[in-house]
Amino acid sequence: MSFIEVTDLCKDYRIAKQEKGIAGAVKSLFHREYTVKEAVRNVSFSLEKGEVVGYIGPNGAGKSTTIKMLSGVLLPTSGVAKVGDIIPYENRKENAKRIGVVFGQRSQLYWDLPISDTFDLYESLYSVPKERFRKNCDFYTELLDMKDFLHQPVRQLSLGQKMKANIAIALLHDPEVLYLDEPTIGLDVTSKKVLRDALKSINAQRNTTIILTTHDMDDIEAVCQRLIMIDQGQKLFDGTLEDFRSKYNDGFTVKLEFDTVPPPWQESGEYELLEGDERHWLIKSRTEMTAKAAMIDLIGKYDPTNLYVQEERIEDIVRRAYALDEVGC
Amino acid sequence: MEKYWLVFKKSLKSELTYRSAALWGIISATLSFLIQIFLWRALLGTGVRNDTSFPDMLLYVLLNSFISPLTRANVAGMIENAMIDGTISMELLRPISYKGYMFSQTIGKNIYGVVTATVPVMLISLPLLSGAVLPDMVHILLFFMSALLGIALTFEVTYLAGLLAFWLQRCWFIRFYLHGLRSVFGGTMVPIWFYPEILKNLSYFLPFRYMTFEPINIFLMKSSVEQAWISILAAFLWLIGLSLAGKLVWRAAMKKLTVNGG
């Protein structure tokens, strides 16, 4: 019996069709058609205590919906989710005590009050012992560098500052599980690094189970040992980061920039021209060639002014992974 | 319990950050109080109609202008907003009963306005209150019981109606309907004792008269001790019935819930 057990989880949304224009709006007053969107389809996985899992997929894949069911906010249409013997959506309050959640695009803070007030509220909401609460407060204020804005009203804080506060709040009661839904949105590079290090050390020290959704592959690489990928509500991949790389991530892209009109593109088996206009080319390597070899080769062939090597974005990987699986079956 | 107390305090503190809102609240409370007083003065003259003297009416308006704003809640509006922008999911993440949270939030939001508005209204009415008969100890105790039940009942009704927001998505009109029903069947504008028989009888079958009308009746000693107990019992039964209904509706609402915006 694993710590988190998800079996055949499904969630459907009913969406009212809206026709265009005023005539359509009037029509929908009398008769409305619905379409059913399957946000999550038969997703199953299990996690052990202390695992750190990256949950990835393109926009609208069903990541947040899964997390909302795991945190007890949404009821699944069918299937079961269990977090440490509790069914979250049946025991919302029980479950809430043991988890910490950050939704990257939402805030749990009191808009008109300083962060410290929200901290107070959470202290009593979770009945955290005073001493431990103080310690955690100091610890996270220090860790996330929040001292300067702890006493400013939240409405006057920047996006990144609010994000830090939300992360701290999710952690103040030492949750057993941490759900992070795009926690690095709006953070600068330094803060991202701070957050990743913090997550790693929390996981190491407290054996906190972490599920992290993100669009930033660097987040995953920095903290996750395991990766689950979904698209259109279905699980496509579940395994270690290395497996994922060897299965899907078979290359990198190179961006070339030209000051003058570039020489004509030579079609070859080694590269694929993804996008190209007069000044920019986006090239993907097809072979097992190293980045270094590709750079030297491309500079020799086309003499660009600038050259950047980029890792593939998750969106691209997922798109290709999806195409692969379609072909595969 | 402590967490609800804290929600109350934080909600009150949020409210305190907007001082000008309180000032405008005082002005509007004073004005509406004055309008009602002048109206009743003109209507009643100095005589007594239906057992109602001007000081009675003054107390009636006075008490109403404390209790009503204290329970003024737009639960439907709060849920509506939380649904529109999806913050409902954040609220549900907290280990706290949603209803208790809403209640503490409401009282915290209202109490500042009520307390600040009380002072000028009291000052205005003090010199006019000389002829009023104040209740005895028994009635005062009964009044407090009945008023507390009334506050709870008001919230229960607003909450239950507010839960409709989960189905309707847009529900600004719920507030107006509630306000209308309270004005008519709760006697917040005109005391129910002036009503024609049919409306009067109808009001006994609805929860609204137990919100402020019955407590005030007790305070004015228009209800005997027995009548007071009956109205308290009725309010209590309504409270139980509605809170059971609220539980059922909440369960259904959670099944229905979708969270907007990712």
Mean predicted confidence (pLDDT) in B97-119 = 86
Same domain, A32 and A114: yes
pLDDT for res B119: 81
Q: Does B167 lie at the interface with A, CB-CB under 8 angstroms?
A: no
ipTM over 0.90: no
Structure tokens at B150: 């009334």
**Is residue A73 domain-resident?**
yes
**pLDDT tens figures, A5-31:** 999 999 988 777 777 777 777 777 777
Distance from CA of B21 to the nearest CA of A (A): 14
Q: What is the DSSP letter of B211?
A: T
Indicate if the pLDDT at residue A302 is higher than 90.
no
Same domain, A264 and A218: no
Confidence grade of residue B174 (pLDDT, cut at 50, 70, 90): confident
**pLDDT tens figures, A175-193:** 999 999 888 887 888 888 8
Same domain, A170 and A214: yes
Q: What percent of chain A has pLDDT over 70?
A: 94
Mean predicted confidence (pLDDT) in B10-39 = 85
Domain-ending residue, one of A208, A240, A272: A240
Distance CA A198, CA A36 (A): 40
Same domain, A35 and A8: yes
Structure tokens at A96: 């809430």
Same domain, A16 and A45: yes
Contact at CB, A101 and B6, closer than 8 angstroms: no
Indicate if the pLDDT at residue A328 is higher than 50.
no
Q: Does B227 lie at the interface with A, CB-CB under 8 angstroms?
A: no
Mean predicted confidence (pLDDT) in A307-326 = 70
Is pLDDT larger for residue A275 or for residue A11?
A: A11
Same domain, A226 and A257: no
**Is residue A40 domain-resident?**
yes
Indicate if the pLDDT at residue B89 is higher than 90.
no
Contact at CB, A124 and B2, closer than 8 angstroms: yes
Contacts of B86 in chain A (CB under 8 A): 106
pLDDT for res A287: 67
**Is residue A324 domain-resident?**
no
Q: How many folded domains does chain A comprise?
A: 2
pLDDT for res B188: 85
Same domain, A11 and A119: yes
Q: Is residue B190 helix, strand or coil?
A: coil
**Is residue A200 domain-resident?**
yes
**Is residue A30 domain-resident?**
yes
Same domain, A32 and A73: yes
Interface test with A, best of B89, B97, B101, B104 (most A CBs within 10 A): B89
Contacts of B5 in chain A (CB under 8 A): 124
Question: What is the 3 state secondary structure string of chain A?
Answer: CCCEEEEEEEEEEEEECCCCHHHHHHHHHHCCCEEEEEEEEEEEEEECCCCEEEEECCCCCCHHHHHHHHCCCCCCCEEEEEECCECCCCCHHHHHHHEEEEECCCCCCCCCCEHHHHHHHHHHHCCCCHHHHHHHHHHHHHHCCCHHHCCCEHHHCCHHHHHHHHHHHHHCCCCCEEEEECCCCCCCHHHHHHHHHHHHHHHHHHCCEEEEECCCHHHHHHHCCEEEEEECCEEEEEEEHHHHHHHHCCCEEEEEECCCCCCCCCCCCCEEEEEECCCEEEEEECCCCCHHHHHHHHHHHHCCCEEEEEECCHHHHHHHHHHHHHHHC
Structure tokens at B110: 């209202």
pLDDT for res A325: 61
Mean predicted confidence (pLDDT) in A47-75 = 89
- Out of B3, B90, B94, name the one closest to residue A106 (CB): B90
Q: What percent of chain A has pLDDT over 90?
A: 19
Q: Which domain holds residue A306?
A: 251-311
**Is residue A113 domain-resident?**
yes
Same domain, A71 and A149: yes
Same domain, A42 and A80: yes
Confidence grade of residue A44 (pLDDT, cut at 50, 70, 90): very high
**pLDDT tens figures, A195-206:** 888 889 889 988
Cα angle at A119 between A116 and A125, to 5 degrees? 150
pLDDT for res A329: 42
Of all residues in chain B, the one with the smallest CA distance to A117 is: B10
What is the residue type of A126? Y
Contacts of B92 in chain A (CB under 8 A): 72-73, 92
Q: What is the CATH number of the domain that holds A48?
A: 3.40.50.300
Indicate if the pLDDT at residue B221 is higher than 50.
yes
Same domain, A190 and A262: no
Q: What percent of chain B has pLDDT over 70?
A: 96
Contact at CB, A93 and B257, closer than 8 angstroms: no
Q: What is this structure's pTM?
A: 0.79
Structure tokens at B78: 């709060």
**Is residue A325 domain-resident?**
no
Same domain, A48 and A100: yes
Average pLDDT, chain B: 86
**pLDDT tens figures, A217-255:** 788 888 998 999 988 888 988 998 888 877 776 667 888
Distance CA B57, CA B73 (A): 25
